[in-house]
Chain A
């Protein structure tokens, strides 16, 4: 149940904070999203630049880059995912604790980008793991990463704690482990995870 906004502002003037559990809980979650220290290619350099003094990702509660997936909430896929690397990326995602979020940074992570025609490049990491925010660009500017981060925070803030759209860590039936692809004879097997990605239908 939403609070009457006018009442909330009026109470705030009197020094009384009124909130819901959901707002408070989500406010806490969105303000401490720790990314994983995980760079793949060119975009990783822009990711490092984002954490440095000029752009300062720390302003959004994300200054702590954890090298271990067990301690991280957010995976920034920063660069080209090759077919040799894709099983490792899915495995790292599986090792992260719920709730976990993914930002696909750059054209390569979204679709293979300029290297899409290559025989060894995965055409988008969203074939195997669910992606929350996509950032276009090659590489995206640090401001774009900040924008994506704020978008993710807004997404976390808006998540209801009950109902079908509740976050995955509160959903006992949510899929925990994602199948890790293996290197087949010609390609990765399976070539995509049908629970996450289906071939898009073009409507003309």
Chain B
């Protein structure tokens, strides 16, 4: 077991990195404190922002978490390794399959299991479908927060339902798939499922074109998002922001490219990068990312091999890995999702820790919001793409 030293963690270490200074109120100096949430239609669940306002301008913002703290990590230390798997579904409930993969990867590292070719392909296909539906829904929610109540979200959910149908046919559940197992996957898909997936993926191209026609050049979207909520490259790196948020600020960091986990190095895809780090860049990065996802999906679906879907020496029930520790991380749709496990040889982990991307991306919320209008603060919060199940765990 490794030893670690506790480090003082304050936001002060970000001080030199282009961080906006706290703004003094102008005029009569009256400051209004508004508590937004936990019941607020635009906080993506139960999240509270204590906002200090000078007129319309945000001069201070304190995020308040914990309204959905469901004791994931504490429960995990009491459960068997397999029994944690369905709980990972409920972390980031939009992307249950990505969470499954991250956790399965950590246990595979701990227990030294290999993943068969076919299962690796399936994992890539399911993770990219998950990324697609997450990003499409995110764009819908972002547009809703700008006042386009319903329409873009309806388009996104129309496609999401098609993808959920595929998930349901394969795994038995629309949202909580519980599909990955240590050393492979649970159910072998039929040939019909694969051909149906190919058909759906072909249709998604048309949807992205349609969606982009509606939104990318839209004047309201551009004027509401361009130059709003800028996150600088340096701050993104130093606050360990990951995922599309970091890439929109120009940080070339995609774990699919950095770690080559799974079989991602076999596929041809590009990592879109933003230049300005504003909300519009975050939108564009996500749109381009789902186009890349579609290209990965097409390549993966072309080359699904036969064979087993589970490592023959893997056993799911009663797994007792040797004492040690492992960190498995994947590029989840929201950023770097990591699972850290310490085993002492028992049937349940000694320590189970999750590195949630949306929680860590939220740490720069105040820096992005300072100086903007309160209406923009809602948009900036939306652009982070948080899911409270993952933030509070």
Q: Residues of A at under 8 Å CB distance from B?
A: 37-42, 44-46, 48-49, 52-54, 67, 69, 79-80, 82, 84-85, 88, 92, 114-115, 117-121, 138-139, 141
Contacts and interface: CB of A to CB of B under 8 A. Distances in A.
Interface string B74-99: 11001000000011001001100000
B176 A84 contact: no
A11 B64 CA distance: 62
A52 B144 CA distance: 13
B68 interface: yes
Contacts of B38: 85, 88
Contacts of A92: 39
B175 A46 contact: yes
Contacts of B86: 114
Contacts of B160: 49
A139 B157 contact: no
Given A114-B86, A118-B70, 11 more contacts: A40-B45, A41-B46, A42-B176, A42-B389, A46-B174, A67-B41, A82-B66, A119-B71, A119-B74, A121-B70, A139-B175
A88 B69 contact: no
B4 to A, nearest CB: 25
Interface secondary structure of A, over-half rule:
loop
Contact of A48 (B39, B87, B157): B157
B78 A117 contact: yes
30 contacts: A37-B41, A39-B45, A40-B45, A40-B46, A41-B46, A41-B68, A41-B90, A46-B174, A49-B160, A52-B153, A52-B161, A53-B154, A54-B157, A54-B158, A79-B68, A80-B68, A80-B70, A82-B67, A82-B68, A82-B69, A85-B38, A85-B46, A88-B46, A92-B39, A114-B90, A115-B75, A117-B78, A118-B71, A119-B74, A121-B71
Contacts of B70: 41, 80, 82, 115, 118, 120-121
B388 interface: yes
Interface of B: 38-41, 45-46, 66-71, 74-75, 78, 86-87, 90, 93-94, 153-154, 157-158, 160-161, 174-176, 388-389
B49 to A, nearest CB: 15
Contacts of A139: 175-176
Which 3 residue pairs spanning A and B have beta carbons closest together? Answer: A118-B71, A42-B93, A52-B157
Contacts of A69: 39
A45 B93 contact: yes
